[in-house]
């Protein structure tokens, strides 16, 4: 099926979807880096608004995962994983927006679980789905940082405060930067 592109020429459905999914990957990376910058440089502000910021982040990442899952529907054996992760992330984001007074220790357990599972998923992708060695390295870095950050957040969720903000901020900076680098490499 051919679709008319921005320049008036035609493009295949796959090219059209890939162009729009690339925009979502870039948006996901930018939101992640923005969250990391705010968390690292304004930790007091972030602590006050941490639940809301993280909820928005979860929703954006969840929507991107849903789009990836629907795009790969029937084309990849792992489409169901993207759909499942997307649904869980969007649901988590909606829950946190509707319950901003979520207790900090419960929030950190949820955040730690998200970061840990995402890190394991990145390592899984690097081991089984990433054939390009440059892309594999980005997935490995994001995966290792995710696993370490998730374990640090789970280590003692009662130790909330600026330490947790710093861990989440560093994680977001590294993973968001890796995501933007991956999107740039895939695009070219």
Percentage of residues of the chain with pLDDT beyond 90: 2
Residues paired with residue 12 on neighbouring β-strands, in sequence order = 2
Q: Which residue has the higher pLDDT, 8 or 163?
A: 163
State the residue for tokens 């710093």: 166
As a whole number of angstroms, the distance between CA 155 and CA 130 comes to 30
DSSP symbol at 8 = S
Residue 143 has pLDDT above 60, yes or no: yes
As a whole number of angstroms, the distance between CA 89 and CA 157 comes to 20
Q: What is the pTM of this model?
A: 0.61
**Which pLDDT band holds residue 111 (cuts at 50, 70, 90)?**
confident
Q: Which residue has the higher pLDDT, 19 or 128?
A: 128
* Residues in contact with 58: Cβ distance below 8 Å, sequence separation at least 6, in sequence order: 89, 90, 92, 93, 96, 114
Question: Hey, what are 28's tokens?
Answer: 């996901």
pLDDT tens profile 113-137: 888 888 888 888 777 766 656 677 8
DSSP symbol at 132 = S
| pLDDT attached to residue 4 | 46
Spatial contact of 168 and 54, defined as CB atoms under 8 Å apart: yes
pLDDT tens profile 31-60: 888 888 888 888 777 665 777 877 888 888
State the residue for tokens 């933007």: 180
As a whole number of angstroms, the distance between CA 178 and CA 171 comes to 11
| pLDDT attached to residue 153 | 79
As a whole number of angstroms, the distance between CA 153 and CA 159 comes to 9
């Amino acid at each position: 099926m051919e679709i008319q592109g921005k320049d008036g020429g035609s493009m295949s459905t796959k090219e059209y979807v890939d162009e729009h999914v690339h925009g979502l990957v870039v948006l996901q990376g930018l939101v992640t880096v923005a969250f990391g910058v705010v968390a690292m440089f304004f930790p007091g502000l972030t602590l006050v608004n941490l639940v809301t910021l993280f909820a928005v982040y979860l929703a954006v990442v969840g929507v991107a995962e849903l789009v990836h899952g629907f795009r790969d529907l029937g084309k990849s054996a792992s489409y169901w994983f993207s759909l499942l992760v997307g649904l869980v992330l969007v649901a988590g984001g909606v829950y946190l927006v509707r319950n901003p007074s979520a207790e900090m220790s419960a929030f950190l357990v949820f955040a730690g679980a998200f970061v840990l599972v995402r890190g394991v998923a990145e390592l899984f992708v690097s081991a089984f789905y990433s054939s390009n060695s440059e892309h594999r390295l980005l997935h490995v870095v994001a995966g290792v940082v995710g696993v370490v950050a998730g374990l640090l957040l789970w280590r003692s969720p009662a130790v909330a405060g600026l330490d947790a903000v710093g861990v989440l901020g560093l994680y977001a900076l590294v993973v968001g930067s890796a995501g933007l680098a991956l999107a740039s490499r895939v695009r070219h």
